[in-house]
Amino acid sequence: MEALSLSAALALVAGGGAGLSPERRAALAVSLPLVQRDYRFERVWFWGCIQGVRGAYYIAEGLGPDRTGPRSRLYSLNCLDWSLLTPATKEMLALAEQVKGRFQGDPSFEYNLAEINAEAAARLIESGKEPVMKEEARLTATIEQIDRAVGIVPRGAFVKTPLGSVHENRHFEGLSLVEAKKLSSYFHFTEPVNLKNKTLLEKADLDPSTDFLDSLEHDIPRESWSIQLEKGGTVVVLRSLLWLGLTFYHVPMTKQFGYVYFGTGEKNLDLPFML
């Protein structure tokens, strides 16, 4: 969610129990504009918080001109001092999926992969690397996983130019209340997968400038999203059942939308058995 409207946005998702203390909100209000200035980001989003055993990681994302381009991610332990995370690699994502359990809250903590996955550890040893994974690398991979799986935006909020770059749609005035209650009105804000597999006939009715992302209606399992009307029916809230703690909000007929994550950074692997 937008750093500039953080307090108002957090109030809209508070129904799920997510939130920050007044001290944390005040610290973010001071530090995030400085992050945007120092790193020369066009926009800064407050991504959320991953709660560890001994501490919490507060996450922010910096965006460039192309909104679907690579994002710079930063973390803080106190909402004041920020450290830049290295981009997630395929190797980091694969190793992070092997690590189970809560985060410790210590970026320098090391997971012994030999105790988790002997095959993965053996491959690292063969390539001349130590069979360990720092929690900072796991943090980077987990944020990437959550963004890819459940980072969403309303249909029409962004447009794709003929040159391929993606920008905010200045003409977007929000979804109607009827459309806002449909899963098909929301897109994954990441590289599309299902869209590439559609036939030309299926793409015939799509607008290439707005329908360039994957819709939530094709997510598997199909019941992995909860849609609710809150604040007297004035706010539409989507919550992910796959990554518990991810909350998206949209105020129909306005430009107000965003998502935030407050959780432990653990995927809900039991979801297929809960439906």
Give 148-187 as a DSSP string.
HHH-EEETTSEEE-TTS-EEE-TT-----HHHHT-GGGEE
- Per-residue confidence at 269, pLDDT binned at 50, 70, 90? confident
- Per-residue confidence at 141, pLDDT binned at 50, 70, 90? very high
- Per-residue confidence at 39, pLDDT binned at 50, 70, 90? very high
Residues 248, 257: Cα–Cα separation, whole Å: 7
Contact 95, 113 (CB under 8 A): yes
Q: Where are the domains of the chain?
A: 1-85, 87-150, 152-259
Judge if pTM exceeds 0.85.
Answer: yes
The pLDDT of 232-242, averaged and rounded, is 93
